[in-house]
Amino acid sequence: MAWIHTIDAHEATGPLAAVYARMRERPMPKAYLPPHGGTPGIIRAHSLDPKLIELVFGGMSASLATDTLPWPLRELVNTATSRINQCLY
């Protein structure tokens, strides 16, 4: 697996720190929270481009805000999509 340099919330400055602060304000299922208490890896993987974090996760939040599917079913859709795309996430 490739190694990507990432920046965790406690290391972030400027626009990235602001994005992380806004992300912390959003509700997140416990399953997404890493045991070390830091930023989830999928978010950290985008840390070199704070604008991209907002686009990716803002778009997902908007599409999930309708609550048309309960969280477990959304996860099932996400998992099936990742499997079809041969993606670990």
Task: Please write the tens of the pLDDT for every residue from 36-82.
Answer: 878 888 888 889 998 988 888 776 655 555 667 787 887 888 888 88
| d(C-alpha 61, C-alpha 27), whole Å | 10
DSSP state of 39: -
Res 14: pLDDT: 95
pTM of the model: 0.64
Per-residue confidence at 25, pLDDT binned at 50, 70, 90? confident
Res 18: pLDDT: 93
Res 11: pLDDT: 92
* Cβ count within 10 A of residue 64: 13
pLDDT above 70 (res 15):
yes
Choose among 64, 65, 51, 63: nearest CA to 22.
51
Cα–Cα separations (whole angstroms), residue 13 to 4, 21, 23, 26, 52: 19, 11, 15, 20, 16
